[in-house]
Amino acid sequence: MALGNLAHPDVINPLQQALDDPDKEVSIQAQRAIQKIQRDRIVSREQYCCRCTT
């Protein structure tokens, strides 16, 4: 899903709306994209914190 590839928090709302799409594949891809964005944000924060402590 293209919005998930943006990996930007601003796309969370449209992705959340897509969770209710009648097309099951759309809702599955929306969920995966949301999870990817959340994982990327966690990794990004961890990398930032690691740089601060060195």
pLDDT tens-digit readout, 19-31: 999 999 999 999 9
CB 17 within 8 A of CB 50: no
Q: Find the angle CA(34)-CA(8)-CA(1) to the nearest 5 degrees.
A: 50
Average the pLDDT over 3-8 and give the result.
62
Does pLDDT of 50 surpass 60?
A: no
| pTM check: above 0.85 | no
